[in-house]
Amino acid sequence: MKQFLSVHDVDDVDALVAEALRQKASPFSSEELGRHRTIGLVFFNSSLRTRLSTQRAAQNLGMQVIVLNTGQDAWQLEFADGTVMDGGSAEHIREAAGVLGEYCDIIGVRAFPSLKDREDDEREAVISSMVRFSGRPVVSLESATRHPLQSLADCVTIEELRTVRRPKVVLTWAPHPRALPQAVPNSFVEWMQRREVDLVVTHPEGYELSPEFMRDTAVEYDQAAALSGAHFVYAKNWSSYSQYGKILRHDPAWMVTAEKMAATADARFMHCLPVRRNVVADDAVLDSPASVVLQQAGNRIWSAQAVLKRMLEAL
């Protein structure tokens, strides 16, 4: 695998999920593969799970790991070409990415959207500049529009826990006090489209995801109708795509509660974390046996390990 920016970089999703499960069963079976190889993890935004799970995965494969938090530790970067750099930015991404390429065999990048200018966010300037100027394979640690390592971990979790051949998977919008990106739901939808599931997306009107991601995925505006018969309930907030980056209303009635979970087909509750308790989902859901959020977070290691293994094999 030459890069991992989206599901479109994966030939066979089923095989990659199986690889993640093999890595989980035997975490050190490929520890020679990454010997004398270095991964650089570059964070333009905060992280707990992605940072630590990718580190663990790389270490299990025998790799060295270096981490750069650009906000605190690095020079402020310029991304536009032809700029006269007489302002706050001390370094251009052309040099910064090139230098990272000198130090690392694989580069991971996290760069959230601004949520101010949709076209600008969709250009994915940070991650695409890293691909262009580093000369190294790049793995997305969440970009402006996608979070593929999270989605692969979600696929692994559903594979482990499904009780029927073709489970009903419901992605439900949930409230949140801050405007959040569409990256997790976008990615979840495009990965689920490659799995044997019945996917339904439910949200209040105005929170429609980009048609580029939704394609012909079913939308149900009535959350109760959507949850009926669900085997998996995946809660996530996102801001509006049409009124880009906006919170349109506060909709506390969309919180996932124990009562709503009781109306499903004994569904498992999923969330990518971090989760705001009693805003996105109530304590009774998060503390119930139905919640698999920790298993899901644990599977971030094995999804990263499967991807890094494929990238190391292609070096």
Question: Is residue 49 at the binding interface for ligand CP, with CB under 6 A as the rule?
Answer: yes
The pairing of strands 38-43 and 64-69 is parallel
Cα(196)–Cα(132) distance, rounded to whole angstroms? 35
Single residue of 12, 31, 48, 288 touching ligand CP by CB under 6 A: 48
Question: Is residue 237 at the binding interface for ligand CP, with CB under 6 A as the rule?
Answer: no
Residue closest to 152 by CA, chosen among 314, 259, 1, 313 = 1
We find the least distance from the C-beta atom of residue 281 to ligand CP, in angstroms, to be 15
Q: ∠ CA 156-158-160 to the nearest 5 degrees?
A: 70
Largest Cα span, the chain: 61
The H or E element containing residue 143 is none
Residue entry with tokens 């940072």: 51
Residue 46 CB neighbours (<10 A): 12
For ligand CP, which is the closer residue by CB, 224 or 273?
273
Single residue of 3, 6, 23, 50 touching ligand CP by CB under 6 A: 50
For ligand CP, which is the closer residue by CB, 30 or 145?
145
Q: Which residues between 145 and 174 bind ligand CP (CB under 6 A)?
A: 150
We find the least distance from the C-beta atom of residue 273 to ligand CP, in angstroms, to be 5
For ligand CP, which is the closer residue by CB, 272 or 292?
272
Residue closest to 12 by CA, chosen among 179, 20, 65 = 20
Question: Is residue 273 at the binding interface for ligand CP, with CB under 6 A as the rule?
Answer: yes
We find the least distance from the C-beta atom of residue 149 to ligand CP, in angstroms, to be 8
The H or E element containing residue 199 is strand 198-202
Question: Is residue 315 at the binding interface for ligand CP, with CB under 6 A as the rule?
Answer: no
For ligand CP, which is the closer residue by CB, 48 or 164?
48
Binding site for ligand CP (CB under 6 A): 47-50, 142, 150, 272-274
